[in-house]
Amino acid sequence: MGAPELKLNADEVFAYLEEVFPAVRGRFSVLELEPMRALLRRETGPADIRPGGTVSGPAMFETADCGFYVVLMAMIGREALTVTTNATINFLNKPEPAALICEARILKLGKLLATGDATIWSEGGTRPVAHATLTYAIPPAR
């Protein structure tokens, strides 16, 4: 068995993300993409900011979810029926009201399930603001 390879490049996976996640359109960019790992940037806007000037939990959840989706789609190709089955997120440090940087890794790429994690920082910050583990179910018919 050789090392796993990318089926989609960064431009292809970005185009696909914009298509199937219209809610995130224009807000994500793919900074780095390699087999089993992606680094993304997510803009934050007024709807993401909570009183006190911090980024909301749902915005961080969405960032982790999309980040893992990007690296998974890059590995398995366009599979619109791939869905999140489980996610755990720990909120670690209060984020700045800035863009979020997300590193997503696949820890297990199975035939039916893929599991990995996502670590999130405020852009320019060094301490992680959130860490998530995620599992996606992959449609069996592929």
Residue whose tokens read 């060094």: 126
Q: Rule CB under 8 A: which of 26-45 touch a copy of itself?
A: none
The verdict on 9 binding a copy of itself (CB under 8 A) reads no
Phi then psi for residue 65, to 5 deg, are -65, -45
The verdict on 133 binding a copy of itself (CB under 8 A) reads yes
As a whole number of angstroms, the distance between CA 124 and CA 49 comes to: 18
Binding mask 75-104 for a copy of itself (x = CB under 8 A): -----x--xxxxxxxxxxxx----------
The verdict on 128 binding a copy of itself (CB under 8 A) reads yes
Task: Write the DSSP string, 2-69.
Answer: -----SS-HHHHHHHHHHH-GGGTTTEEEEEEETTEEEEEE---GGGEETTTEE-HHHHHHHHHHHHH
The verdict on 117 binding a copy of itself (CB under 8 A) reads yes
Residues in contact with a copy of itself by CB under 8 A are 19-23, 47-48, 50-52, 56-59, 61-62, 65, 80, 83-94, 107-108, 112-113, 115, 117, 119, 127-128, 131, 133, 135, 137, 140
